[in-house]
Chain A
Amino acid sequence: MTTTIKPATDVLENKEPKVKGPKASVYKTNQLNLWYGSNHALKNIDLDIKENEVTAIIGPSGCGKSTYIKTLNRMIETIPSVKTSGEIIYRDRNIFGKDYQVEELRTKVGMVFQKPNPFPKSIYDNIAYGPRIHGIKNKKILDEIVEKSLRGAAIWDEVKDRLQENAYGLSGGQQQRICIARCLAIEPDVILMDEPTSALDPISTLKVEELVQDLKKDYSIIIVTHNMQQAARISDKTAFFLNGEVVEYDETDKIFSNPSDSRTEDYISGRFG
């Protein structure tokens, strides 16, 4: 007698969908190519990034992940030799379009960097900086923005009694959350994070990770990380970049339990990179 073997259950199929109905796309990247001079750094990137999710971008050094995230807010343009083709649709508009103002994009897309980079100013002024350059002068409104942003970045209780002190006096982890609060003060739609915890100790890292989980209710977050366990812990979707290409982009649960591509498996299980 021959036994027919069928899968009894699929680990992922058994899971309840996290949301009902499809989520809207915040960013759609279509056939994006990018060159630094003659170096082809991003090759035919197609990614559909959904709102109110955490999207992690992982890959070995030089794979193009930081280049990609810096393209999303057009920061990459500051490098003179850069040339791009393809399109990045942010909320239905191509950010490379001739009429698209980069300033407009950056009020919607905040960024947090690897090393905390507060301004050499008071905690209060760090947060109020963005709203002030957008023309908000009213002290009461600024106070509200500062408190709301610091609360949003889970650091209000730690700094509320010393808002006028220089932000440089805070610990690295606190400084990074100040930078996140500064980012929230302009009420962005998307927060880009480029290895935001790589300079932090484990406890500060966990605080930032918890914060990211809270923030995704109100924002869409795209995070580049070298720490694969971090990507596994905090993201909904993961894109694996290798040599400027997206090898695999899928639910994080799938990527870390049963990836489709053997290169993804080799990378996440630490066999190269």
Chain B
Amino acid sequence: MSVREKYEADLQLLNDRIIELGEFAHRALERSLKALEGHDVDQSLAIMDEDIKANRLEEEINDQAILLIAKQQPVATDLRRVIVAIKIAADLERIADFAVNIAKSTIRIGNDSFVKPIESIDQMYRKTAEMIELVLEAYRDEDIVKAKQIAELDDKVDALYGQTIQELLSVSATNPDKLPQITQLSFICRYLERAADHVTNISENIFYLVKGTRYELNK
């Protein structure tokens, strides 16, 4: 039996909160893409309203982490677990913010039919969502093999981003009236690409947590 049961229990609560925030961000991103596909303004407004939950979860994680440091004075891996939790919470909260940004773009696009099918945006989303699922597993299991796979997926998101922006640029020449929509779709690509970068930051933090050494996965 561990002599630090209280600490372990508090740490578990903190980890549960991180997973909760991660799942929330994942769901928000999923809903924002569905709303985009369906031109669903009501759903987009709901995503914006509910983002406060992500902010509150991040604050709770920070408060719990501060209490853990103050009361339990963790060192070495224990300390890295708490510091990394604070950093990961910030990244996850930011991912939830990107869902809000996508929702805002969807509202701006309104009922205007898409200039082209948004398949490549959907592909970017699917890769990013896969990265979020994987990073939450990697965090829960402190698994650096999974964390490494995330860097590889991020390269794919980056490639899709370049490709999608090119496609949007090429249709903009022949569809000048759709320029506002094309701008919003480009923003959405950028939000997804940034969300994937934040997932990569999280996997860097998982490396740091496990190895005690910093790794650069975002290139």
Q: List residues of chain A with CB under 8 Å of any chain B CB.
A: 1-3, 5-11, 228-229, 232, 256-259, 265, 268-272
Contact = CB atoms under 8 A, between A and B. Distances in A.
B63 interface: no
B154 to A, nearest CB: 9
B151 interface: yes
Given A1-B152, A3-B152, 10 more contacts: A2-B152, A3-B217, A5-B207, A5-B217, A7-B213, A9-B213, A228-B75, A268-B75, A269-B76, A271-B3
Given A3-B155, A270-B3, A256 B76 contact: yes
Nearest to B79: A257
B75 A232 contact: yes
A229 B73 contact: yes
A6 B215 CA distance: 6
B174 interface: no
Contact of A269 (B4, B207, B215): B4
Interface string B182-202: 000000000000000000000
Interface in B133-184: 148, 151-152, 155
B78 interface: yes
A5 B151 contact: yes
B217 A265 contact: no
Nearest to A264: B76
Contacts of B76: 256-259, 265, 268-269
Interface of B: 2-4, 7, 73-79, 148, 151-152, 155, 207, 211-217
Nearest to B152: A3
Contacts of A1: 152, 155
25 contacts: A1-B152, A3-B151, A5-B148, A5-B207, A5-B215, A6-B215, A7-B211, A7-B213, A7-B215, A9-B214, A11-B214, A229-B73, A256-B75, A257-B75, A258-B76, A258-B212, A268-B76, A269-B75, A269-B76, A269-B77, A270-B3, A270-B7, A271-B2, A271-B3, A271-B4
Nearest to B218: A8
Contacts of B148: 3, 5
B151 A269 contact: no
A272 B4 CA distance: 9
Shortest Cβ-Cβ A-B pairs, 4 listed: A258-B212, A8-B216, A3-B151, A7-B213
A265 B77 contact: yes
Max count, chain B CB within 10 A of own CB: residue among A1, A6, A257, A269: A269
B148 to A, nearest CB: 6
Most buried by B among A3, A11, A256: A3
A13 to B, nearest CB: 9
B212 A269 contact: no
Contacts of A269: 4, 74-78
A3 B73 CA distance: 36
Nearest to A269: B78
A144 to B, nearest CB: 43
A258 B4 CA distance: 19
B127 to A, nearest CB: 14
Contact of A11 (B73, B74, B213): B213
A7 B75 contact: no
A30 B91 CA distance: 50
A257 B212 contact: yes
Contacts of B214: 7-11
Contact of A272 (B3, B75, B77, B217): B3
A128 B74 CA distance: 44
A96 to B, nearest CB: 36
A205 to B, nearest CB: 15
Contacts of A5: 148, 151, 207, 215, 217
Q: Max chain A CB contacts within 10 Å: which of B2, B4, B79, B212?
A: B212
Contacts of B216: 6, 8
A256 B77 CA distance: 9
Contacts of B217: 3, 5
A10 B213 contact: yes
Contacts of A2: 152
A175 B74 CA distance: 32
Nearest to B153: A3
